[in-house]
Structure 1
Amino acid sequence: MTHHRFPVRVYYEDTDLAGIVYYANYLKFIERARSEWVRELGVDQVQMKAEGLVFAVRRVEADYLTPAKYDDELVVQTAMEPGSGVRLVVRQDVMRGDEILFSALVTIICMTSEGAVARLPAVIRRFMH
């Protein structure tokens, strides 16, 4: 499975003084979606950490297209892009119905507890081809 949908409802705490979703909260929405996505791929991040490996975001390219508002029902759509054995790239779109409100291209790496770059887990690399 390389495509995932994660529902999000906008709560009051997600909005700013203008009543729209505060820009940084989109990053929280897509982080939650990625966590659920890798869980469904079969990656146990707790076990990874116990083995000395963690995921780290290396780069985010984000486009804010249309604001979401309080009580909107959104979906974060996550899809894998071409990457490498040490770099996972995902496209994440926050949508309200068929409309894309926010779109991000996120590059993720795997690091050791000492901060060195490591190969991605085999379960992730298997889906990259």
Structure 2
Amino acid sequence: MSHSHAVRVYYEDTDLAGIVYYANYLKFIERGRSEWVRTRGVDQGRLKAETGIVFAVRRVEADYLRPAVFDDLLTVTTELRTLGGARIDLWQQVLRGDAVLFTAAVTLVCLGADGRAHRLPDAIRALLAPV
């Protein structure tokens, strides 16, 4: 099941050539992941406050396929690939209409308050698991 999040390209997102600066795609997919987690019922602020647990990006493998430009309306899709003990593998895309502009395989790790990998709590796992 894929989650979608709309993102508008603002002037501040572009570079001298008038296209979206490459690093901003990472911001776009971060927003998509945050909204995916939120729609699954996970309050990341509360999770950190109550348990010390946070999600951190461990790895991103990205492909830039086509440029986005000022005022484009983009869609960020997020799809769960695997849910491990302390690891979450996602597939994300940035699209303009049907055109795929950017893809990324993203690995998140669940970290405890000590900064070390921590097993996902069962309640959180249940919320993130495929329906």
Decide: shared fold, TM above 0.5. yes
> Residue deviations 1:56-83, cap 9 Å, x none?
0000000000000001010001100023
Q: Which residue of 2 aligns with 1:118?
A: 118
What is the Cα deviation at residue 121 of structure 1?
3.6
Identity of aligned residues (%): 60
Q: What TM-score results when the alignment is normalised by the length of structure 1?
A: 0.93
How many aligned positions are there? 128
Point out the more displaced range, 14-23 or 111-120.
Answer: 111-120
Q: Which residue of 2 aligns with 1:4?
A: 3
Q: Distance in 1 between matches of 2:37 and 2:121?
A: 11
Quickly say closer, same or farther: Cα 1:112–1:29, change in 2 above 3 A.
Answer: same
Q: What TM-score results when the alignment is normalised by the length of structure 2?
A: 0.92
Q: Distance in 2 between matches of 1:69 and 1:122?
A: 42
Q: Distance in 2 between matches of 1:62 and 1:120?
A: 25
- Please give the root-mean-square deviation of Cα atoms over the aligned residues, in Å: 1.4
Q: Which residue of 1 aligns with 2:87?
A: 87
Gaps of 5+ in 2: none
Gaps of 5+ in 1: none
Quickly say closer, same or farther: Cα 1:54–1:65, change in 2 above 3 A.
Answer: same
Check the 8 A contact 1:109/1:120 in 2, yes or no: no
Q: Which residue of 1 aligns with 2:45?
A: 46
